[in-house]
Amino acid sequence: MTTPITLPISTSGTKAIDVAWLCARAAGDLALSRFRGHHDIDVKGHRNIVTNTDVEAELRVKAILAAEFPDHKILSEETAYDTDATSGWTWVIDPIDGTKNYAIGLPFWCTNVALCLDAEPVVGLTYDAVHGEGFWAVAGEGAFCNADRIAASDKDDVFSSVISIDLGYDDAMGLRQLDLMRSIFPRVQGIRITGSAALGLAYAACGRIDLYTHMNVSPWDVAAGILLVREAGGVATDRDGAPMRIASSHFAAGGRRVHADFMARYAVAQGGHT
């Protein structure tokens, strides 16, 4: 677990985690009401799209946060270039993580809401509206799925594990990820592609998968999940083994023993061996 801290109370007297739930439900339930319907889609880059619902859901979340915590900063995909999340209280949000899944009708997308202090997540919530699951954590208080406490995998090694990955938008990083999986695949029970970094981390936190790894993410993809994994007793580091931060673009997260085994094999694979 992480160290407990004193969390701010909103202008309405609401706890930060309860405000996170308000935000997540506002965005997630809007998205769910339009799921598998018509979407106006804009192409932001190679493999990177945004729907009209992403935009509307983000506005709803920002309105709640502006009313409840007017002095806090907000970091989202659309404001990434004018928000400094390295100091003070900052909400890091993604109204729909897994937009491609959402747009094509695959039921693996979620809403991500995290509160950070000096770039360290202290409140995190990943809300899967499709399946009615909210994965949440408060620093020092453990991790939960709805009302049930969760724990990361207790598997001993990669050989006994199911690993989940995502490839991201960058061709070079995606191909490196595939090369790594090619070297590890003969030694694992299975490999899954989630299509949502936030769900990948949530599933690692609750032990549905044993380890999740990615090479190309942004803070709004992972801020909540970092806290979830650590509060669930797991480990989240960058691929160099340093503690994962919200600015870490490449990482591995999961149960402690399988994470250690994966990192050892990752170092070998990077050295050109299998």
The alpha carbons of the chain give a radius of gyration, in whole angstroms, of 18
Q: Is the pTM of this model over 0.85?
A: yes
Per-residue pLDDT of the chain (274 residues; tens, 9 = 90+): 778 889 999 999 999 999 999 999 999 999 999 998 777 666 555 555 578 899 999 999 999 999 999 999 999 976 665 678 889 999 999 999 999 999 999 999 999 999 999 999 999 999 999 999 999 999 999 999 999 999 999 999 999 999 999 887 777 877 888 888 888 888 899 999 999 999 999 999 999 999 999 988 999 999 999 999 999 999 999 989 999 999 998 999 999 999 999 999 876 666 543 3
| Common-topology check for domains 16-149 and 158-270 | no
Query: Which residues, in sequence order, are CB contacts of 144 under 8 Å at separation 6+?
Result: 135, 136, 137, 150
- What number of other Cβ atoms are within 10 A of residue 141's Cβ? 15
Check if the beta carbon of residue 220 is closer than 8 Å to that of residue 76.
yes
Q: What is the CATH number of domain 16-149?
A: 3.30.540.10
- The C-alpha atoms of residue 52 and residue 64 are separated, in whole angstroms, by 19
Class of domain 158-270: alpha beta
Listed by start position, the domains of the chain span 16-149, 158-270
What is the CA angle 208-99-198, rounded to 5?
35
